[in-house]
Structure 1
Amino acid sequence: MTQTAKADTPVAARADDEPLPRRKLVFVIVSMGLFMASVDQTVVATALTSIQRELHAGVQWGAWTITIYSLGQVLVMPLAGKISDIYGRKRVFVLAIVLFTVTSLLCGLSQNIYMLVVLRAIQALGGGSIMPAASGIVSDHFGRNRDRALGMFTSIFPIGGVVGPILGGIFVTYWSWRGIFLVNVPIGVALIILGSIFFPTTEGRRGGRLDIVGSLTMAATILAAMLGIATLGDGAKWYSPGVLVPELVAIAFGWLFVRHTRRAPHPFISMQLLVGKGFGIMNLINFLYGAAAIGFSALVPLYAQERFGIPPLESGTLLTARAVGMICIAGLAVFALRRTGYRMPMVVGFLLVSGGLVMMFFTPPGASPYLWLSIAAAITGLGMGLSVPAANNATLQFAKGQIAGVSGLRGMFRQAGSIMAVSVVTAVIARASDPGLSLGISFLVLAGTLIAVTPTVLLVPEHRGSW
């Protein structure tokens, strides 16, 4: 038995003996932390105009307040997951909340756009570290039921991303854009206190040691690749130096990372978790799923405004329909997993998301665009609520001692796919004579991508029952 497994087994055994009320409290604490971090990923979108006006910022710098947060999360998720597995979940979670809370306060007090962008980058390091560490905490506290607990917990992240723009609109309308950051402060302080009290303090070392060379080369690969894609989204041509140079740098560092990982005795991320049985296909699925299902959510309000002239506040509420769809089915999907396995919910969920995307483009003549788009958004929500729990748990049973690390990789691939989709689509519509129609066509392309990837679900290792 490996050192990691030895460390994990006693924790799982103790979890089944832990009082249920305490486990529920732990679940609520980490869920609040994940929801807060995921909301901040999208909450700035509806406040962007207000931020630009008050801080006298251009559109490009305003957009970087969103882009830099996504980049920071993609960069830190696998790092935080590995560090959490090695040095303990509680330490990483509490430190992540501290960093997130302090930077939220400073973001709310920012005096210029440059200060805000830098602080958003640091805030992302805290926000992106929460999910991997929290996933490990949930796993440690729920023993035989951790598959269900993790399914419920990780479904919170996309819901928070959907709710973000709505909350942003409320704060901007009734308070100030600064409120979207300052509201995190009392919540963060409460989470720091609760986590320090109720999370176990006897967590030992999870095994292994941090691979500095592997972590740095992987970080450089991710950062360079995402910078090139983000630059494309800012309006640069695909062959411009701002796009090509970062991508070439990413390829070089990626080669160095793979070369080092194959030779290192204790690699930062083993090749098994990247391309091994089950993991390789799920990483691909998570990347494309992030592009099609998560990335498009940032584009729905813009699509409603550009193509149908729906007012900003109403267009933002379209994401509410999607959130309702997710909430309605996610809980049922989690508790049905032991009977259905992973493949069937993923296939049906992917097809529902694709169907909702297609519906958004083909609006029936005479139908209310807002009502039709609401129905289509709700259908995509049902698809996500059905498929996300299965996709989240599909590979975790093969790496029970590295759940935080696997969760970090999963989040990284989904976020990277989302950034790629948004950047490419925005680059296309920036040059289009009819942005609304171009957005609609992009939805068809995303739907086709998700349909094309659906057969690969049959390659995902099947599992039924608890683990």
Structure 2
Amino acid sequence: MNDRNKWLMIAVGMGIMLNPLNSSMISVAIARLQNVYQLDFTDVSWIIFSFYIASAVAQPVMGKCSDLFGRRKIFLTGLVIVFVSSMLAPLSPSFSWLIVFRIVQSIGTSMMVAVGMAIVRIYVTEKQAAALSVLAIFLSGAAAIGPFIGGILIHWWDWPSIFIVNIPFVTASFLFAWRTIPKDEPIESTSGEMSIRKWLGLIDTPGILLFTVALVALLIALLSVKSTGYLSTWNLMIGGIGFIALVIFIRHELKTSSPFIPLRTFAKYPAMTWVNVQFMLINILFYSLFFGIPSYLQQVRHVNEFNTGILMLALGLCSLVISPLAGRWIDKSGSRPALIVAAVLMTFGSILIVLLDENSPVVIVILTLAVFGISNGLNGVGMQAALFKSTPKEMIGVASGIFNTSRYLGTILSSLLIGIVMGDTFSAIGFQMLGVILTVLATSLIIMNLRGQRSSESQAV
């Protein structure tokens, strides 16, 4: 790999890492933001919801936009958006404004994730597999060390620092990207020659709006019922709007020629559909722990942000260490054995959550994080391999987009689950109840994978 390509890798890597870094650092900041803005746990959860809803919508949209405007322009524009949002977020006069800047930040980081891999595939022609694996390290590494970095920053410089820390990364990435990413080739059918109506149809604007309205309305309705304790007319109205929007969205996606989420693909490729269902469940389990443990440590055990970040390293380091080993195992034995072991580990970790209370030994917390970290490493490689096996080569681009959407939906549902179980205050009893629910979900994953294993064996015979 020549020097130019190495700098290109660094530029893209520093850009795409901003999405997982910012999505993971916030896990340590939830308790602090709850105190600063005097919010209950349900309300403060929107700092998580907003980021993942925006990412789920923005990434596939920005992938389409890159075909219209060029990948270099999308990448550089994303960096500028992150720079501006990171500067303005610490100045937020209210929590609502912080949510707005968080959404803008999510859109900016999604622009880079959407085109970063494509830039490397196009311009790094030698040792391409190695180059893509390096980008995967940027993504997984940022997510792994995010809580640790967030804990240190908040401990010494308070919550605004988790936004300001983006500035040096954004600046360096922009300078390197400006010099190393080749200029976009002229596009024959440019957006300037395309009518606004045609362009909006191409990215499926109606589908995007319906999806967003349905998701947000249903979340508001569910969380409001939990917060108030009863079903009001307002809850029914908001929930009804969400349900109607969801039904219209499904009908629209089945009819449109350029769907935001190609629902017909699920019916056409059932094996791929089950991979996505399983991946969504995995992310519900993982992110319930990922966002739950920091709140448990800070609000139940009264551990400070610095020590919380240190403890969360057990999750990230175990995930990073196991990932390359999982790759070798899966190359030899296929994805199913690794996924079964991962499901067993998640079940064991969920049972450990049930045992945690105000006075549990710290070693149990570390063991819980380590178990989930190992399972995350196995699932990360195993689910990607299962996706490739279940998807025709000509469909891999669409399948990857759906796969990422499943990830974000699982993350959103994990935050919803925590919000519903905890309500106003994060408590040890609520966390134990969450552990019971996670144990049931993890057990269902074991059953799904064992059935898949038997099905594969019978087909082989």
What is the TM-score when the length of structure 2 is the normalising length? 0.80
Q: Which residue of 2 aligns with 1:211?
A: 201
Whole-angstrom distance in 2 between the partners of 1:323 and 1:77: 24
SS in structure 2 of the partner of residue 93 of structure 1: helix
Aligned match of 2:163 in 181, 199, 222?
Answer: 181
> What amino acid sits opposite 2:290 in the alignment?
S
Whole-angstrom distance in 2 between the partners of 1:273 and 1:95: 32
- State percent identity of aligned pairs: 22
Compute the RMSD of aligned alpha carbons: 3.8
Asked if the contact 1:318/1:374 (under 8 Å) is kept, the reply is yes
Asked if the contact 2:16/2:139 (under 8 Å) is kept, the reply is yes
Residue 369 (structure 2) pairs with residue 377 (structure 1)? yes
Aligned match of 1:89 in 71, 87, 94?
Answer: 71
Asked if the contact 1:218/1:254 (under 8 Å) is kept, the reply is no
Asked if the contact 1:104/1:181 (under 8 Å) is kept, the reply is yes
SS in structure 2 of the partner of residue 211 of structure 1: helix
What's the offset of the Cα at 1:374?
0.7
Q: Which residue of 1 aligns with 2:86?
A: 104
Residue 108 (structure 2) pairs with residue 126 (structure 1)? yes
Asked if the contact 2:82/2:108 (under 8 Å) is kept, the reply is yes
Q: Which residue of 2 aligns with 1:232?
A: 222
SS in structure 1 of the partner of residue 204 of structure 2: helix
Asked if the contact 1:217/1:254 (under 8 Å) is kept, the reply is no
Q: Which residue of 2 aligns with 1:434?
A: 429
> What amino acid sits opposite 1:448 in the alignment?
T
Q: Which residue of 2 aligns with 1:164?
A: 146
What's the offset of the Cα at 1:297?
0.8
Whole-angstrom distance in 1 between the partners of 2:234 and 2:9: 43
Judged with a 3 Å threshold, the aligned counterparts in structure 2 of structure 1 residues 115 and 218 are, in CA distance, closer, same or farther, namely closer
Asked if the contact 2:284/2:413 (under 8 Å) is kept, the reply is yes
**Which runs of 5 or more structure 1 residues have no equivalent in the other structure?**
1-18, 463-467
Asked if the contact 2:58/2:110 (under 8 Å) is kept, the reply is yes
Whole-angstrom distance in 2 between the partners of 1:363 and 1:49: 19
Residue 210 (structure 2) pairs with residue 220 (structure 1)? yes
Whole-angstrom distance in 1 between the partners of 2:431 and 2:282: 23
Whole-angstrom distance in 2 between the partners of 1:31 and 1:461: 37
Most deviating of 34-43 and 161-170:
161-170
> What amino acid sits opposite 1:36 in the alignment?
L
Residue 30 (structure 2) pairs with residue 40 (structure 1)? no
Whole-angstrom distance in 2 between the partners of 1:256 and 1:400: 31
Residue 268 (structure 2) pairs with residue 276 (structure 1)? yes
Whole-angstrom distance in 2 between the partners of 1:183 and 1:323: 20
Judged with a 3 Å threshold, the aligned counterparts in structure 2 of structure 1 residues 231 and 262 are, in CA distance, closer, same or farther, namely closer
Asked if the contact 1:224/1:246 (under 8 Å) is kept, the reply is no
Residue 55 (structure 2) pairs with residue 73 (structure 1)? yes
**Which runs of 5 or more structure 2 residues have no equivalent in the other structure?**
190-197
Q: Which residue of 2 aligns with 1:318?
A: 311
Q: Which residue of 2 aligns with 1:395?
A: 387
Q: Which residue of 2 aligns with 1:16?
A: none
Whole-angstrom distance in 2 between the partners of 1:91 and 1:461: 45
SS in structure 2 of the partner of residue 127 of structure 1: helix
Residue 341 (structure 2) pairs with residue 348 (structure 1)? yes
What's the offset of the Cα at 1:256?
3.4
Whole-angstrom distance in 2 between the partners of 1:232 and 1:33: 35
Whole-angstrom distance in 2 between the partners of 1:451 and 1:326: 20
> What amino acid sits opposite 2:176 in the alignment?
L
SS in structure 1 of the partner of residue 182 of structure 2: coil
Deviations 1:355-386 (A, max 9, x none): 3233333479xx96211221221121111112
Whole-angstrom distance in 1 between the partners of 2:263 and 2:287: 26
Q: Which residue of 2 aligns with 1:414?
A: 407
Q: Which residue of 1 aligns with 2:446?
A: 451
Aligned match of 2:289 in 283, 287, 296?
Answer: 296
Deviations 1:388-445 (A, max 9, x none): 0232354358576776654443222212112212222331233889334323323323
Residue 321 (structure 2) pairs with residue 328 (structure 1)? yes
What's the offset of the Cα at 1:113?
2.9
Whole-angstrom distance in 2 between the partners of 1:32 and 1:104: 15
Most deviating of 32-41 and 159-168:
159-168
What's the offset of the Cα at 1:292?
1.1
Judged with a 3 Å threshold, the aligned counterparts in structure 2 of structure 1 residues 446 and 268 are, in CA distance, closer, same or farther, namely closer
What's the offset of the Cα at 1:82?
3.1
Deviations 1:228-280 (A, max 9, x none): 22553464458555655455444433443443444434444434544432432
Most deviating of 169-178 and 145-154:
145-154
What's the offset of the Cα at 1:449?
4.0
What's the offset of the Cα at 1:307?
6.2
Q: Which residue of 1 aligns with 2:195?
A: none
Judged with a 3 Å threshold, the aligned counterparts in structure 2 of structure 1 residues 157 and 230 are, in CA distance, closer, same or farther, namely farther
- The 5 A counterparts of 1:355-370 are 355-362=348-355, 369-370=361-362
What's the offset of the Cα at 1:183?
1.7
Whole-angstrom distance in 2 between the partners of 1:293 and 1:443: 9
Asked if the contact 2:204/2:258 (under 8 Å) is kept, the reply is no
Whole-angstrom distance in 2 between the partners of 1:435 and 1:221: 31
SS in structure 2 of the partner of residue 44 of structure 1: helix
SS in structure 1 of the partner of residue 112 of structure 2: helix
Judged with a 3 Å threshold, the aligned counterparts in structure 2 of structure 1 residues 62 and 355 are, in CA distance, closer, same or farther, namely closer
Aligned match of 2:9 in 4, 27, 43?
Answer: 27
Most deviating of 312-321 and 382-391:
312-321
What's the offset of the Cα at 1:154?
4.1
> What amino acid sits opposite 1:37 in the alignment?
N
SS in structure 1 of the partner of residue 17 of structure 2: helix
